[in-house]
Amino acid sequence: MQSLDRVFEKSARSLAKRTSRRSLLASLGQLLTGAALLPLLPIDRTARAQSPAAGAKPTADEQSCAYWKYCAIDGFLCACCGGTSTSCPPGTQTSPITWIGTCHNPGDGRDYIVSYNDCCGKVSCGDCFCNRNEGEKPMYRLSRNNDVNWCMANTESNYHCSVSVILGVAEK
């Protein structure tokens, strides 16, 4: 047992010699910042916006442009086009790149990070056009503008409609 204690003591002392408190705090800070920013990275979130489950029916809220989670959307609501607010209509593919917004849910008083994926591969749906654009900036700030066809990265680049997928709670 004593030898085990000695091994741990030795390795702890050697680690303490190699790292300062400041560098430890800096690494911890980097780790926390990285974890907080992870949901905002332009990573493939298509898994969250796949085809609707068999028999899935959109609610009246999902078909209304006034629904809180559509606060930053620009496009046709997939819930009116054969899909739901979170799933693309059958025969379309989800765009892997998206526009991200933050919407306030009056139901629980919290802000949520929402991803607006486009559904691609069919001509424009044409129903329930919804253009709310909260947080959008003019075209000269491309990454902050949502008037973009996110199907451009798909093999079928025709735009059909948009879904809105909640990614998480926005920390204040």
147 in contact with ligand ABN (CB under 6 A): yes
Q: Does residue number 74 form part of the binding site for ligand ABN (CB under 6 A)?
A: yes
For residue 76, list its beta bridge partners: 129
Instruction: Output the six-digit token pair for 24.
Output: 């430890």
| Interface pick for ligand ABN out of 77, 118, 120, 164 (rule CB under 6 A) | 118
Tell me how far apart the alpha carbons of residues 8 and 15 are, in angstroms, rounded to a whole number: 10
Q: Does 159 bind ligand ABN (CB under 6 A)?
A: yes
Q: Which of 113, 148, 167, 170 binds ligand ABN (CB under 6 A)?
A: 148
Residue tagged 């607006």 (tokens): 116
Q: Fill in the amino acid letter for 40.
A: L
Applying CB under 6 A, does 150 fall inside the site for ligand ABN?
yes
Is the Cβ of residue 61 or residue 147 nearer to ligand ABN in the bound state? 147
In sequence order, which residues have a C-beta less than 8 Å from that of residue 96 and are 6 or more positions away?
A: 44, 45, 46, 153, 154
In the complex, the residues that contact ligand ABN under the rule CB under 6 A are 74-75, 118, 147-150, 159, 162
* Catalytic residue set: 99, 118
